[in-house]
Amino acid sequence: MPLDPDRAEPGRPDPEALLAMAAKEGRGRLKVFLGAAPGVGKTFEMLVQARRRHLGGADVVAGVIETHGRAETQGQIGELPVLPRARITYRGQVLEEFDLDAALARRPQILLLDELAHTNVPGSRHPKRWMDVAELRAAGIEVWTTMNVQHLESLSDAVARITGIRVAETVPDRILAEADAIELVDIPPAELLDRMRQGRVYRPAQAERALKGFFREGNLAALRELALRRTAERVDAEVTGYMRANAMSGPWPTGERVMALVGPDAAAETVVRQARRIADALHGSLVALHVERLGAEDRVDPSPALQLAEALGAEVETVVAADLPTAILNCARTRNVTHLVFGRGRTAWWRRITGRTLSAALLRQATEFSLHLVPNPALPPRPLRDRRPLPAWFGWAMVPILVGAATGIGLATDGIVPEGALGMVYLAAIVATAVVAAPPQALVAAFLSFVFWNYLFLPPRYELTIANAQDVVGVVVFSLVALLLVGTTGGLGRSVRVARARLFSLRRLVEFSRRLGAPGSQADLVTAVADEAQRVTGHATCVLMPLPGGPSGTPVELVVRAAVPTEAEPDDASLAAAAWAFEHGTVTGHGTDTLSAVAWQFRPMRTAHAVVGLVGTRPPEGHDLDAERDRALTALLDQAAVAIERAELMEERARGTARAETEALRTALLTSLGHDLRTPLTGIRGAAETLRDSGNRLTEATRTDLLTTIIEETTRMGRFVSNILDMVRVEAGEITPRRDPVDVIDAVEAVTQRAETVSGRRIGRDLEAKRLTAQLDAALLNQVLANLLDNALKFSGPQGQVNVGARREGAEIAIFVEDDGPGIPPGDLHRIFDPFFRASRTDRVTAGSGLGLAICRGLVNAMHGRIAAESPVRQGQGTRMTARFPA
């Protein structure tokens, strides 16, 4: 329903704000100590303040205090009286619960009631503790309580996405909104984790489990942000309520608040969506306002736009008023709005002329707000018109028009204005002619003006005579003033035109320099050159570049690399002129002395070394460039040539770097082949020759050992060749993973069992009990896990311990493989996943080919995951490889 227009009247308190204040009368106050997570010190801070009030003489009673075994919290209860708990029997057990009836009978001044989200034991009067609090407040008892931000009902889904844990106990948001005071108890996540490790929050065993699950630094940081935002929203609501209740005019710059002005036009929904985007970008709230004007009919029903605003989370308000800008500004000040978003509607022409449009009124009056004008997508864009210089005949046509107008004014005022003063009217006509035309036309206008003035108005009338010396002086002064005005005004007009042209050129050069400095490829640069040349000239434009790699001595072949518009391409005759311009480095084509018959004009982009390309323009007949635009185009081409040369040098440098990297990779590959293939081949050859030459004289155990050596070295060589092929596939981007649901726990268990069978060693497991599913390629995941386990088993030593685990971390699934080997030097951590890199972790283990971890990174990236290494893990040793995939 539309609200009363008096509601927005300045100087009067808001009735709704006064009703909200009246509703709190006679009800007990509620103070909430809000925290981001358990252990931040909510209960401790509540007890500190309660003891201070108790020492000051207040009747403070501890109803329920949950210390969780924390000695510091227990010590803060001190001399505070504690309310005995009720004993309730449930399923054969006697449980202690808050005694609501005892609290109502005791009626303390302040009652401390910890854990607002607590679920009461079945058999209690209310199923939830926040319901107990509501009854206590209705009885006039002030309640102090604590809660964590994850227990708010509206944040349940967000907390589940962040932490991976669904909070069972929730509190309705209205309970927190109705609280009289909210105090945020906050500490940094790193400090909270230190308290957890020191055993100051949970017992050691429980703390160790919490650190692996809920209490991770990323989770705590996200929850802390939620708590800070919710507290800031509450403070903003309190400020707004105070301003409305006390009739204070805003806005106060305490926070960002966006108001969308929903009008009765087709752009209303566009305004709402744009306002929502602005509010999201500013992390502010959104209000949608529709003003119904008295006596006016809406052209379009605003209801769909208002419904859209409600769906987007905006607070919708409708008011009725006669003065649209005043109603908008009063409502905006009342709601402490900082940004106004409105559309460009269809406005009557007389409103635009008189400046009575809504946008003009807001620009004049809304000086304390940020204004956002949203274009109307339903209105077609107005075509831009190129301002051409006026033709010569126009100036000559203006001479009789302006002189005739001055004569008409003189005849109309004859007898009223003295004849001498009529000369000023003719001077005005002379000045106007000098402004719109050229000096010759102004001189003719001056002569005609003198003739008509003398003949029609100076005595003796209707005669071209000069009667006396005064007339001689008047004629001379009039002529001199007219000539002076002609010269000054004409020169001033020419200066203005030249200055405007030079300013245009300067702006275009500055904008073009900025575009050239932006990062991008040579193709982007060439497109920018074509666009800018078209803007400067106003003609069809193209950029031609030579094809690289032509045989020496052959003519250069030019190709069109960019054109504006896209269909603008030179014909064969014009291309011949372009080839001449490129070869000789001169301007060729239309309007020049060389091949002037073609329709295009080609200008070289020349550097100190060579011509890097051509810019072609196709001017229409009779529309050659003026001097200023010609100079601007020349300066533009000089900058473009330097930028293109710089881009070519950068590309050449990139190619040189790639060649160097390829050469380094080739060298590493040959070195690896020379070492990792020669070693197993030498072992195989030695064992085979021993069996051939001395097979009959060897014992059965020796022959078996030699055959085992051959098999192991063959397997090692095959694995190395397989790694080489996999690495080539990864580098070439030929791996296309499948996206199927994979049970990560089952995959990790299967690969771990195979690794145990091959190595004969026990591998520890730290796997979540619940199912973890991700869209992955099962075969690639198995290869990643196998390489990680093989790497860990090799570097942990024969007696070392290797652990594998998988768990949910927010929106990701983390799989880690950890060993207790000597670790990786800090300087090598950033290179550990490079091909053929071998970290010198121990002298006891033969280093591999350096491809296993590089293959892991390539496969993980192909599955849209990420992998990282950590070392040391504990006591200065150990390495942990962690692969994370989207859950």
Catalytic positions are: 592
Indicate whether 28 pLDDT > 60.
yes
Asked if residues 286 and 313 have their Cβ atoms less than 8 Å apart, the reply is yes
* Region 162-168 average pLDDT: 74
Sign of CA pseudo-dihedral 349, 355, 360, 365: negative
Q: How confident is the model at residue 754 (pLDDT cuts 50, 70, 90)?
A: confident
Q: How confident is the model at residue 7 (pLDDT cuts 50, 70, 90)?
A: very low
251-374 has CATH 3.40.50.620 classification: yes
* Between 656 and 815, residue with greater pLDDT: 815
Q: How confident is the model at residue 467 (pLDDT cuts 50, 70, 90)?
A: low
How many CB atoms sit inside 10 A of residue 19's CB? 10
Asked if residues 446 and 391 have their Cβ atoms less than 8 Å apart, the reply is no
CATH number of 15-244: 3.40.50.300
Share of the chain above pLDDT 90, in %: 8
Share of the chain above pLDDT 70, in %: 75
Indicate whether 3 pLDDT > 50.
no
* Region 588-611 average pLDDT: 86
- DSSP per position, 507-542: HHHHHHHHHHHS---HHHHHHHHHHHHHHHH-SEEE
Report the pLDDT value the prediction gives residue 89, as an integer from 0 to 100. 84
Indicate whether 60 pLDDT > 90.
yes
Q: Which amino acid is residue 841, in one-letter code? A: R
H-assigned helices in 419-468: 422-436, 439-456
For 146, the token pair is: 């604590």
Domain boundaries, the chain: 15-244, 251-374, 392-495, 520-626, 735-886
The model's pTM: 0.37
User: What CATH architecture is 735-886?
Assistant: 2-Layer Sandwich (3.30)
Report the pLDDT value the prediction gives residue 316, as an integer from 0 to 100. 87
Q: Which amino acid is residue 177, in one-letter code? A: A
Report the pLDDT value the prediction gives residue 33, as an integer from 0 to 100. 93
Q: Which amino acid is residue 837, in one-letter code? A: F
91-133: pLDDT as tens digits: 778 888 999 999 999 999 999 999 998 998 888 888 899 999 9
Report CA-CA distances (Å) from 714 to 692, 725, 730.
18, 17, 24
696-746: pLDDT as tens digits: 777 888 878 888 888 877 876 776 676 666 656 655 555 667 778 888 888
> What is the fold of 520-626?
Beta-Lactamase (3.30.450)
Report the pLDDT value the prediction gives residue 5, as an integer from 0 to 100. 41
Report the pLDDT value the prediction gives residue 669, as an integer from 0 to 100. 56
Check if 15-244 and 251-374 are the same fold: yes
808-861: pLDDT as tens digits: 887 788 899 988 888 888 777 777 777 666 665 444 444 455 667 777 888 888
Report the pLDDT value the prediction gives residue 15, as an integer from 0 to 100. 58
Q: How far is the C-alpha of 149 from the C-alpha of 359, rounded, in Å?
A: 42
φ, ψ for residue 55, nearest 5 deg: -65, -25
* Region 227-252 average pLDDT: 63
Report the pLDDT value the prediction gives residue 550, as an integer from 0 to 100. 53
For 59, the token pair is: 């009747």
Report the pLDDT value the prediction gives residue 31, as an integer from 0 to 100. 92
486-524: pLDDT as tens digits: 666 656 666 666 666 666 666 656 666 666 665 566 777
Q: How far is the C-alpha of 209 from the C-alpha of 205, rounded, in Å?
A: 7
